[in-house]
Structure 1
Amino acid sequence: MHRKPNLLAAAALAAVTLATGTAARASDDAVLSLAKNAGCMTCHHIEPGAKGPDGLAPIGPAWKDVSAKYKGQKGADAKLTQTVLAGSNPYESHWKGKVSGLAMPPNAVAIKEADAKKLVKWILALDASKK
């Protein structure tokens, strides 16, 4: 008799896992569409190691590298959102030698602040250990 409740619990867990995975993929698709439309994917990749044009280092850091660098840092979301909107200072680049670009240009004309916040939140949630 104990088998029925265990099967029901397993079925319920499977349904929740499937629904969560579907929702996550839909969220990923929405954020990636936003990033593509805003031009972010011109300079950035999700996975580290991807090469840019002509086999050179990518223009900007991979988002999983960004996530790993800022994981757990207080205020990282606000700092990175500001970087997306206003750009970065080429003299303070902490990606020097890892990417071919010197600085991130301002993108406030390409992406709204609310969308930049969504994108940054998504980037910071990426797990660098998962492929």
Structure 2
Amino acid sequence: MSKQALCVLAGLVVASTAAFAADGKDDAMLQLASKSGCMTCHNIEPGAKGPEGMAPIGPAWKDVSAKYKGVKGAEEQLTRTVLQGSNPYESHWKGKVSGLAMPPNHVAIKDADAKQLVKWILALDAKK
């Protein structure tokens, strides 16, 4: 096998391994989200309907990712919101979701897991 063919083959192996690792991370995060009750109110993709055809209860995670892209401190702010809940009077998703506020979830998810999940959510918009 030529050196060029070997380099191409090695590149394909590395790329497929990286893709597999990303898919494994997606699976782990989706399991964590389901186990923690997040999927009751949230979807990954925008446009999903909520109960009885209403607006979804909480924002789609790709919308969250897009909204907070490049925002300094977003990971810490959103992790705090996941754990402590949000104020219904300060909702910036008003008119887009049917839920008034996010309830506190500190009993449903550990701090470290919430931080890991938020980090994954914030990276969603970069994925295809």
Using structure 1 for the length normalisation, give the TM-score: 0.94
- 2:47 is aligned, of 46, 49, 52, to 49
CA spacing shift, 1:129–1:14, aligned 2, 3 Å: closer
Match of 2:24 among 20, 26, 40: 26
Deviation at 1:55, TM superposition (A): 1.1
After superposition, the C-alpha distances for 1:6-55 in whole angstroms (9 at most, x for unaligned) are 21111011000110011111110001000000000000000000111111
1:15 matched to which residue of 2? Answer: 13
Q: Report the Cα offset of residue 4 of structure 1.
A: 1.5
CA distance in structure 2 between the aligned counterparts of 1:81 and 1:53, rounded to whole angstroms: 26
Q: For the Cα contact (< 8 Å) 1:58–1:100, is it kept in 2?
A: yes
- Residue equivalent to 1:125: 123
Match of 2:125, SS state, is: coil
| Alignment partner of 1:64 out of 45, 51, 62 | 62
CA RMSD of aligned residues (A): 1.2
Q: Distance in 1 between matches of 2:91 and 2:115?
A: 21
In the alignment, structure 2 segments of 5+ residues that lack a partner are none
For residue 20 of structure 1, give the secondary structure of its aligned residue in structure 2: helix
Name the CA distance, whole Å, in 1 between partners of 2:93 and 2:81.
14
2:2 aligns with: 4
Query: Sequence identity of aligned pairs in percent?
Result: 70
**Structure 2 counterpart of 1:26, which letter?**
G
Task: Give the aligned partner of residue 81 of structure 2.
Answer: 83
Residue of structure 1 equivalent to 2:38: 40
- Distance in 1 between the 2:126 and 2:12 partners? 26
**2:77 partner letter:** K
